[in-house]
Amino acid sequence: MSGLIRHLLSLDDLTTEEITLLIKAAINYKNKMGKDISYKAQGKILGMIFEKPSTRTRISFESAMIKLGGGVCFMTSQSLQLSRGEPICDTARVLSGYLDCLVIRTYAQSIVEEMAKRSSIPIINGLTDLYHPCQAISDVMTVVENFGDDLSKIKIAWIGDGNNVCNSWIQIASKLGFELHIATPCGYEPRHDILENAMKEAKAPIIVCNDPLLAAQGASVINTDVWLSMGEENKEEKKEAFKHFQVNNMLVALAKNDCIVLHCLPAHRGEEITDDVIEGENSRIWEQAENKMYTHMAIIEWLMGL
């Protein structure tokens, strides 16, 4: 891809083939761990601007870049002149001269879009209020590890909020052609335009309902996320609407015997998911978290054209 700068702002930036190749490359990196990994990123620098906290995305991107032989420069927006009003367009132009790729975690999707427009290096969305594309790719990697790469026969359930992670799951379901059943409380469904766009391309149904039991029935994957996302900490009353949307043993019993349970973490044990499900035999949550690093190695390699 030399000469052409690509960004990963949402899964709409990738074709089906590209997502499939990234997942294969990530699995390949996982299989090679501890053996020879060439230092493809030697001399390159990955910048990271995070306006929200992060354990997994930050450290897995940092580890991924270091394992590839490159360096990392972590910034909070508070530590940059952005916090004193320097425009995004100027920041983007200046950082493009120092860095080879930039991961941004922020609030509005328009911020990563503006940054991409003004940068001459690839921009990666490390989570916005609207999307979490890298998360969905590594989550699907975990599904592929467990069920193989033909996802056309399996049912995947999303139980909980129609949030940023859910939106990225909608986009990846549409691109890869698997059945996605989303159950949210009334009023917390995913955005209509995101669903509508995804459904135009989808090769398998994407169904939204308000019944978690229906969504979980016969599912091979049960996926969930927090009820209150970052930035919603003051919306405690929202939790009331979600009290029947907990992933517990009763819900998991409705799914297939060999179903796997996913949660992007951080989890609020006892709210959206119970302790015994997190620690239970169907849980693949720890593998899912680890897989973020291999996915990020594949994403860095691809976007930087290494």
Which residues in this chain contact ligand CP in the complex, by CB under 6 A?
Answer: 54-58, 127, 135, 264-266
Who contacts 222 (Cβ-Cβ below 8 Å, separation ≥6)? Answer: 157, 159, 216, 247, 251, 252, 255, 259, 260, 261, 262, 282
Our finding on whether 72 is near ligand NVA (CB under 6 A) is no
* Bridge partners (DSSP) listed for residue 114: none
What is the contact mask toward ligand NVA in residues 203 to 242, using x (rule: CB under 6 A)? Answer: ----------------------xx--xx------------
Q: Taking CB within 5 to 8 Å according to partner kind, which of ligand NVA, ligand CP, none is near residue 26? A: none
Does 163 engage in binding with ligand NVA (CB under 6 A)? yes
Nearer to ligand NVA, 96 or 288 (CB): 288
CB-nearer residue toward ligand CP: 93 or 268: 268
Nearer to ligand CP (CB atom), residue 163 or residue 246: 163
Q: Which is nearer to ligand CP, 57 or 283 (CB)?
A: 57
Residue pair 65/46 in contact (Cβ under 8 Å)? The answer is: yes
Per CB under 6 A, 264 contacts ligand NVA: yes
How far apart, in Å, are the Cα atoms of 295 and each of 19, 33, 57, 83, 189?
10, 13, 11, 31, 28
Phi-psi region of 92 (alpha: psi -120 to 50; beta: other; left: phi over 0): alpha
- Whether residue 126 contacts residue 146, with contact meaning beta carbons closer than 8 Å, is answered with no
Minimum Å gap between C-beta 10 and ligand CP is: 15
When CB distances are held under 5 to 8 angstroms depending on the partner's kind, the choice from ligand CP, ligand NVA, none that residue 163 binds is ligand NVA
Point out which residues pair with 224 in neighbouring strands: 159, 263
Q: Residue 139 or residue 301: which is nearer to ligand CP going by CB?
A: 139
C-alpha distances (whole Å) from 98 to each of 102, 217, 303 are 10, 51, 17
Segment 164 to 203, residues that bind ligand NVA, using CB under 6 A: 164-165
Residue 55's binding partner among ligand CP, ligand NVA, none (Cβ under 5 to 8 angstroms by kind) is: ligand CP
- Asked whether 151 and 169 are in contact (CB, 8 A), the reply is no
Closer to ligand CP at the Cβ: 59 or 89?
Answer: 59
In the complex with ligand NVA, the residue whose CB is nearer, 48 or 127, is 127
Dihedral angle, C-alpha 131, 133, 139, 140, nearest 10 °: 120
C-alpha to C-alpha distance for 25 and 297, rounded to whole angstroms: 8
Q: Which does 225 bind (CB under 5 to 8 A by kind): ligand NVA, ligand CP, none?
A: ligand NVA
Nearest of 205, 284, 216 to residue 256 by alpha carbon: 216
Count of residues interacting with ligand NVA (CB under 6 A): 9
Residue 269 interacts with, from ligand CP, ligand NVA, none (CB under 5-8 Å by kind): none
- Site of interaction with ligand NVA (CB under 6 A): 127, 163-165, 225-226, 229-230, 264
